[in-house]
């Protein structure tokens, strides 16, 4: 497939979005509340309260990165990965020239693979480093074009523009079309999943995270990642926006060797999401 064909397929719409049960229930709730407000004398205050409560629940789901109420959300690898003793290390917000090459060397030294959820504009700024990630056996997936802080407030058009632009950039630079998407900070709203469905992307969050963008103590980050560590886990770390240790080192570079050694000791193998998602 040529580059232009790959880019056009990246934004080709698929079949209509299958509304998840929670969203169908939300629509029915709205209809019922409005109907009660019209047909039952004095029911408008209760109807308005019911709608406000429903919106609060939807907002809460959007603010919970591992929730699947707004649509499919991969938080662990499938059951088949357990038999293969696989986990997925995911690394967000890069590529970062100061950190990413050293991360690649650490992964190579331990014979492990990772998935990099990259910001597309950083990929444009560092295309050779991005291609090196792929050439060394790892995967690059979609983490939006700009990593906007207001991402979770966007509507359908804003989501489509931000995510499709990232798809085009990542496909053009790396030669591989992403199949997975992670929202900035994992935050979203009900308009996101229909856009991902049209673009052929799966929302992926995580099993556990180290909070390494704000915690500079490697021991604390490692403790969060290692708690009940087992096959099928999806672990979240950051090469971009990483917190610094007391010595000024990006904390990922202190944590990753500990994590990789723990995986070896537990007989676990870190694979890309594409590998780990295989049945």
Given 92, 93, 168, 239, which residue is catalytic? 92
238 is catalytic: yes
The secondary structure of the chain as a DSSP string is --HHHHHHHHT---SPP---HHHHHHHHHHHHHHHHHHHSTT-HHHHHHHHHHHHHHHHHHHT-TT--TTS--B-B--THHHHTTEEEEEEES---TTTHHHHHHHHHHHT---EEEE-HHHHHHSHHHHHHHHHTT-EEEE--SS--TTGGG--HHHHHHHHHHHHHHHHHHHS----EE--GGG---TTHHHHHHHHT-EEB--SEE--TTT---HHHHHHHHHTT--TTBEEEEESTT--B-TTS-BHHHHHHHHHHHHHHHTT-EE--HHHHT--
Given 138, 147, 197, 238, which residue is catalytic? 238
92 is catalytic: yes
Query: Could you list the active site residues?
Result: 92, 238
């Amino acid at each position: 497939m040529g580059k232009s064909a790959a880019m056009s397929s990246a934004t080709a719409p698929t079949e209509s979005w299958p509304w998840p049960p929670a969203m169908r229930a939300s629509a029915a709730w709205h209809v019922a509340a409005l109907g009660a407000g019209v047909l039952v004398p004095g029911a408008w205050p209760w109807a308005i309260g019911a709608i406000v409560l429903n919106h609060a629940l939807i907002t809460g789901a959007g603010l919970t990165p591992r929730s699947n109420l707004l649509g499919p959300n991969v938080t662990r690898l499938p059951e088949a990965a357990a038999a293969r003793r696989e986990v997925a290390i995911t690394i967000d917000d890069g590529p970062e020239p100061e950190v990413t090459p050293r991360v690649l060397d650490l992964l190579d030294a331990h014979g492990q693979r990772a998935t990099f959820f990259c910001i597309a504009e950083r990929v444009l700024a560092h295309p050779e480093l991005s291609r090196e990630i792929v050439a060394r056996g790892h995967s690059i997936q979609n983490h939006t074009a700009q990593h906007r802080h207001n991402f979770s407030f966007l509507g359908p058009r804003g989501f489509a523009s931000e995510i499709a632009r990232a798809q085009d950039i990542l496909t053009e630079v790396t030669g591989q079309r992403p199949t997975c998407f992670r929202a900035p900070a994992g935050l979203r709203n009900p308009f996101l999943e229909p856009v991902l469905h049209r673009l052929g992307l799966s929302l992926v969050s995580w099993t556990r995270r180290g909070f390494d963008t704000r915690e500079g103590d490697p021991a604390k980050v490692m403790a969060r990642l290692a708690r009940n560590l087992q096959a099928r886990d999806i672990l979240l770390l950051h090469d971009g926006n990483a917190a610094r240790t007391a010595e000024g080192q990006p904390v990922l570079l202190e944590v990753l060797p500990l994590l990789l050694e723990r995986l070896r000791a537990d007989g676990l193998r870190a694979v890309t999401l594409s590998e780990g998602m295989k049945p």
